Amino acid sequence: MKIYGVTRRWWPVAAGAVIGIAAGLILTANTPKSYTATTTFFLGSPASADSSGAYSGDLFSQQRSATYSQLAGNRDLALKVIDDLALTMTPDELATKVKAAQVPKTVLLELSVNDGSAQRAADIANTYAADFPQYVARLETPAGSNKPLAAVNVIQKAEVPTSPTSPNAVLNGVIGLAVGVFIGLFATWCRRKLDKKIRTAQHVEEATRAPLLGVLPMDRERLKDRLDLAAHATSAYAESIRTLRTNLLYVGVDAPPKTIAFVSPASTMSTTAAATGLAVALDGINRKVALVDADLHESRLGRYIGAASDRGLTSAVTGAAALDDVIIRVPNTGVDFLPAGPPSPSPGEVLASDAMAKVIAELGNSHDFVFCDTPGLLTANDAAVIALACDGAILIATQGKTTSESLSEAAETLRRLGSKVLGAVLTDVR
């Protein structure tokens, strides 16, 4: 159950991470490759015989480097390179592919060319390497002199790059992962904030303002809508039912409840399974229990325990049959079962009658416990009527299905009508 809980809470994050990485890789696969070729220049200065002159020359070259970086994108120089290589692009287009920058604290200048073709990137960079020194020499030569004040020399020609500089598959994958995880976390946060369904025992207690009597795990056998005593005897569900049994025995020690309505906001098999499981558990410690199918709309209880009958509760209430004649035994147990009986055109009137209250009272006199399975409280008034005829009600909440609002409304409805809420049970916990 813990593993499922972790999976349920964090699957949006995991899904976001996978989708993010996949998106990064898809982006990489669909992005045109780009290659970068680099050539390096040495920025020289007029020769000097002493050390101070040499220092001044180096300082002169470093100061010139910013200007040379800008000259690399000059339109006239770009036209020269285009002519030399017979490129089919404009000077402005070529300028966007070229970037020059000084190597910090040196007299070196690096010129990089970025292009979709590795060979063309190297060719452009090497053509710049041939044309740029000449261009600078022409600019640095004073009028009337044939000797430039500064010189640019190529110290490293560009080589054809063997791998693209972009797209970066690793970087795109990491970015995709980060974005996916963030979206997953945000989705998880939104889900928790917007999700009004009951998830934890604390949610149940807050909604009902009643003690939590038990937490019942999801039971695979119960999902079959059919009681399997052999499976229940050793399952985790059975152990949880025994814990519920213990807690029920200590409810109202001074005036312990005998007749109890099992109530849920909406009609659900969870009330049927909880009532039946608790009845069988109490029978296991020699308590005499009667199960009453008080849901005259769906009548789930008879189908669940596999003990249907033509006569039952409606027969006893209307006087068509004696109570003792319509009670049958749950197979392989000592639990007495009162089926719903034949359909009634007005089930609400049957359940609200004095005869119904007498049936419950009579069962309470002959049994240690009487459990009534009821229809959904918020969909029919029957559950509230049955709860009034009993000593109290146990509210059943189904994890992931019952909402906090509906459970709270059910509890308040019972209290407003004068019924006692004995406690609550959280079922189908995974």
Q: Do 138 and 175 belong to one domain?
A: no
Contact 211, 423 (CB under 8 A): yes
Question: Does the residue 211 lie in any domain?
Answer: yes
Q: 391 and 247, same structural domain?
A: yes
With 0-12 / 13-18 / 19 or more C-beta atoms within 10 angstroms meaning exposed / middle / buried, residue 189 is exposed
In the prediction, which pLDDT does 50 show?
Answer: 42
Where does residue 151 fall: left (phi above 0), alpha (psi -120 to 50 degrees), or beta otherwise? Answer: beta
Range of the domain at 88: 35-156
Confidence of residue 232 (pLDDT cuts 50, 70, 90): low
pLDDT at 194 over 90: no
CATH number at residue 130: 3.30.70.1130
Supply the pTM of this predicted model. Answer: 0.61
Q: Does the residue 162 lie in any domain? A: no
360 neighbors 260 (Cβ within 8 angstroms): no
pLDDT at 31 over 90: no
Instruction: Report the mean per-residue pLDDT for the chain.
Output: 87
Strand partners, 326: none
**163 lies in some domain:** no
3-state secondary structure (DSSP) of residue 289? strand
Write phi, then psi, for 142 (nearest 5 degrees): -65, 155
Q: Can the peptide bond before residue 167 be classed as cis, meaning omega within 30 degrees of 0?
A: yes
Q: Is the pLDDT of residue 307 over 90?
A: no
CB 279 within 8 A of CB 369: yes
Q: Cα separation of 152 and 146, whole Å?
A: 16
Give the pLDDT of residue 228: 60
**How far, in Å, CA of 281 to CA of 306, rounded?**
18
Is the domain of 260 the same as that of 319?
A: yes
More confident residue, 232 or 1: 232
| Buried residues in 85-113 as b, exposed as e (16+ CB within 10 A) | eebeeebeebbebbbbebeeeebbbbbbb
Q: Is the pLDDT of residue 229 over 90?
A: no
- Average pLDDT of span 295-300: 88
Domain end point (choices 156, 179, 210): 156
User: Is the pLDDT confidence value at 157 over 90?
Assistant: yes
| Contact predicate 392/213, CB 8 Å | no
Q: Give per-residue pLDDT as tens, 71-127.
A: 888 888 999 999 999 999 999 999 999 999 988 888 899 999 999 999 999 999 999
- Look at residue 153 in the predicted model and tell me its pLDDT: 92
Length reported for the chain = 430
Extended beta strands in 236-343, E state: 259-263, 289-293, 328-329, 336-338
pLDDT at 140: 85
The answer to whether residues 277 and 421 belong to one domain is yes
The predicted pLDDT at position 300 comes to 87
Q: Nearest CA to 262 among 428, 429, 425, 430?
A: 425
More confident position, 367 or 186: 367
- Give the pLDDT band of residue 53 (cuts 50, 70, 90): very low
What CATH number should be reported for the domain holding residue 394?
3.40.50.300
Closest CA to 264 of 364, 355, 386: 386
Q: What is the pLDDT of residue 8?
A: 56
